[in-house]
A and B are shown apart, each in its own frame.
Chain A
Amino acid sequence: VARFLLRVNGQTHEIEGDPADNLLSILRGELGLTGSKYGCGEGQCGACTVLVDGQAMRSCVTRLSSLTDKEITTIEGLSGGDRLHPVQEAFLEVEAFQCGYCTPGMVMAAVALLDRHPNPSDQQIASAMDRNVCRCGTFPRIVKAIRLAASGGVPDARAES
């Protein structure tokens, strides 16, 4: 067990852990950030997706020891204040979810994609998102939400009431 400095959503946390500990269990268990979900523990479903220096990473297979000096963003840190991120707005607008369990991971993967490709092609969307599973089958709606966010987002984005 060693000490690690973890930078999450702009705050630095001192974590005691094993270098092999996965980021997801630290986020959920130690930091109480439960927006990132456990789905498979294999890096195959994407429910745990977070941004590490802007890249979409599967936090369930990301080791604590690989995160030194990295900036981690979780779904909790995505929107500033009361305002939702345009990708979140777009997901709401097209109802790109059913049970919602995969949604935080989908949103984070979509944010990383749009950061790299502001106007992604169908193929770029499919390639970037293919490691995220929506078992309820809302893939077409998620694609629609990503296109909506890419095209300038929801016209009259709702502020939090």
Chain B
Amino acid sequence: MSEHLPGPDIEVERYELSEAARYRFELERRDFLRVLTAMGGGLLVVASRPGSAQNGESGRGGRGGAQASGDLTSWLHIDEQGRVTAFTGKVEIGQNIRTSLTQTVSDELRVPPSAVTMVMADTDLTPFDQGTFGSRTTPMMAPLLARAAATARGLLLARAAETWNVSRETLTARDGRISTPDGRSIGYGELIKAGPLTGAVAARPDEMARDQWAVRGTSLKKIDGRDFVTGRHDYTADLKREGLLIGRVVRPTAIGAVPTSVAVGAARAMPGVTVVRDGDFIGVTAPDERKAAAAAAAVKVEWRLPAGLPTSESIYEHLKRTAGAASIPAATSRNEGRVFRASYRIPYIAHVPPEPRSAVAEWTGDKLTVWAATQRPFGVRSELAQAFRIPDGRVRVIVPDMGSGYGGKHTGDVAVEAARLAKAAGRPVKIVYTRAEEFMWAYFRPAGVIDIDARVDAMGRLSSWEFHNYNSGGSGLRTPYAVPDRREQFHQSDSPLRQGSYRGLAATANHHAREMHMDAIARALGVDAVEFRLTHLEDSRLRDVLVKAAETIGWPRASQPGRSLGIACGVEKGAYVATAVEASRTPDGFRLERVVGVFECGAIVNPDGLSNQVEGSIVQGLGGALFEAVRFADGRILNGTLAQYRVPRFKDVPPIEVVLLDRKDLPSAGAGETAIVAIAPAIGSAARAFGEVDTALPVTLTARS
């Protein structure tokens, strides 16, 4: 990945060392058969051999299926009824990959989508996976499952050819059956009944060309949508276990506070209550929520509060001071020219996933099973194994399809807490964070300062571009615009608040600063903002989305006098976006009248699902653009309730038009994140027609014209 790697202190996407085994020996037929026997026979496709098309993201570097499949990790199984099961360590978060991956398997295997079941995010059943982040499922997992399915199809065709003693090339696979030109046909299940079939993912199986896609490229509806509209889907918090207790963690009164005295007697005396104190961890279990809350409240703790922490006002100065700005090398060999400098400020913002962090932990003998809402099941398994000093193989993490994450559910805190309490109570324990805990004890999208110094020559072209990001991160740091002399740098700072991944992460901050700056320069030069960008753009894919967005919004003329247009664009994680907005003036600022989002991520797997993601990203981006910012002082979050922390609601959402450009000639990139990056600068640009716009997010008018 071209992603700029963060320093060791920042929890950005939590890249971990995860090496493949040094030696990897040829699979033997008896290994396959052992696994297949455990699965009740059938056809099995397992991870490929070294040096083949396998990638390091998934499958290797760890061991899934330790119990079920020995050393083999299986990607795909077909049983004697022709039912297909595909395995992936990826998590369904609402990005709809359970559906899009089903489409991939169904397409390559030539079976109807209803014949395919995806087993996802279960560390005992699925191959190792780094985690569900970085928009990687579609570009990396889908091709892998496509190869596994194409391999299976190849095995079935070979067996049918052998059975009928005909050439394989004469056979066709369709609808779960293989047919000959003269009308004979046999179902996959029947073929498999003749005896087990096994194979490793072929490096170059006979995959479909993208323009031949039949199931991919269509808007298959969410696989289990019915369970969601009926409330039947069980999220982690909905799970029931025999003897389940409710757990509560006794939280410090401020971030960074440590307990100096703890009195647990009153809580311990309550019937049915277990109290755990283990180092700085204090928690309780009780038979129900009310008793658990009462028990937690009965634990009396004196806290030593941290002193001298920055506030949401002083944070920017703090970030620059702690970045060791003095050590930054001298600037590039700047030519002189017209100078444009600005310093953009990005506040911490919260993910506010609707489903709070939650986990159910259960010990069975010395084996630990945890159901948890997390984007990194294998990472959380390691966290649990480390916390309890047991081998990974004794921990199983299962992730029920989640109530979203947006990058906010990478860590395993809640899983570890529930497991610690379950160990003490000797019964399964569930913890569901309250919204207040979610605000204070999760982590935030990093705050940052972005300083830009740009120079423009006499011809009106950018001649140098110096871009320094303090703390918010390196994604999207590089400008896509052609500049002869450029320097872009990420500087790690000390963050007083816990920070980590977020949808699009730093790309949103970096795009906002860059696009606002491009807009400011174009205005100052008196040139059209779209023309100015095009003059500096060589990437035809980015040009295409920009031009399309401009056309669709009616650039450069707003639909009514007194209204204004704004536009911004960018490329991130291999996907291209341009966003244009129309705004009107109001007595206290401005209001959005209309948004156009143009998106291109190569070949589209599920057009309606993609449209949903793009629109959703724009709506989520409205929050950071218009009102989201975490306020804090003395280690306390000052707006840590949903009443105080404003997220987008129905009334905030203007009409949104999503335009998707389908490029069947290009491989599919991920699409869950990129569309969030251009909405804030498009709004900022439109607001500039009405006055001076603050260089801090959210976008506000500081002076009105």
Contacts and interface: CB of A to CB of B under 8 A. Distances in A.
Size bracket, chain A contacts: 35 or more
Interface string B36-59: 000000000000000000000000
B226 interface: yes
Size bracket, chain B contacts: 35 or more
Contact of A47 (B233, B354, B643, B655): B354
B669 interface: no
5 contacts: A34-B238, A95-B225, A100-B228, A100-B233, A139-B653
Return the 5 tightest CB-CB contacts between A and B, nearest first: A35-B231, A99-B94, A137-B619, A101-B403, A100-B228
A125 interface: yes
Contacts, number: 166
A79 B226 CA distance: 12
A75 B230 contact: yes
Contact of B647 (A88, A103, A126, A133): A133
B232 interface: yes
B154 to A, nearest CB: 33
Contact of B620 (A103, A137, A141): A137
Contact of A107 (B229, B232, B356, B616): B229
A157 interface: no
Interface string A121-155: 00001110111111111111111000000000000
Contacts of B290: 18, 21, 25
Given A75-B231, A99-B355, A137-B616, 11 more contacts: A41-B434, A42-B642, A44-B641, A95-B222, A95-B612, A98-B616, A99-B403, A100-B233, A137-B617, A138-B615, A140-B615
B656 A130 contact: no
A92 B226 contact: yes
B513 interface: no
B55 to A, nearest CB: 27
A100 B616 CA distance: 13
Interface of A: 18, 21, 25, 28-29, 32, 34-42, 44-45, 47, 74-76, 78-79, 84, 88, 91-92, 95, 97-104, 107, 125-127, 129-143, 160
B202 interface: no
Contact of A98 (B96, B649, B650, B651): B96
Given A136-B404, A140-B656, A84 B612 contact: no
A102 B96 CA distance: 16
B170 to A, nearest CB: 37
Contact of A88 (B230, B289, B649, B651): B230
Contact of B354 (A35, A42, A45): A45
B296 interface: no
Contacts of A18: 290
A39 B232 CA distance: 17
A134 B290 CA distance: 28
A135 B352 contact: yes
Nearest to B403: A101
Contacts of A95: 221-222, 225, 608-609, 612
Contacts of A29: 288-289
Contacts of B617: 137
A39 B95 CA distance: 19
Interface in B389-417: 401-404, 406
A98 B620 CA distance: 13
Contact of B232 (A28, A35, A74, A92): A35
A84 B227 CA distance: 11
Main secondary structure of the interface of B (DSSP, over half): loop
Nearest to A106: B229
B355 A101 contact: yes
A130 B229 contact: no
Contacts of B372: none
A107 B653 CA distance: 19
Given A98-B616, A140-B656, A126 B650 contact: yes
A100 B234 CA distance: 11
A23 to B, nearest CB: 13
Contact of A84 (B229, B401, B641, B648): B229
Nearest to A100: B228
A139 B404 contact: no
B477 interface: no
Nearest to B648: A137
B146 interface: no
B354 A36 contact: no
A21 B289 CA distance: 10
Contacts of B368: none
Contacts of A135: 352-354, 404, 406, 620, 647
Nearest to A39: B354
B605 to A, nearest CB: 15
Interface in B633-679: 641-643, 647-651, 653, 655-656
Contacts of B542: none
A101 B240 contact: no
Contacts of B693: none
Nearest to B227: A100
A21 B622 CA distance: 36
Contacts of B487: none
Nearest to A1: B290
Given A36-B231, A37-B355, A38-B356, A25 B650 contact: no
Contacts of B250: none
B404 A101 contact: yes
A101 B355 CA distance: 7
B275 interface: no
Contacts of A138: 612, 615-616, 619
Given A103-B229, A107-B229, A140-B653, A38 B237 contact: yes
A18 B152 CA distance: 59
Interface string B196-222: 000000000000000000000000011
A143 B231 CA distance: 20
A137 B613 CA distance: 9
A4 to B, nearest CB: 14
Nearest to B609: A95
Contacts of B289: 25, 29
Contact of A104 (B231, B355, B356, B620): B231
Contacts of B95: 98
Nearest to A127: B651
A88 B230 CA distance: 7
Contacts of B655: 140
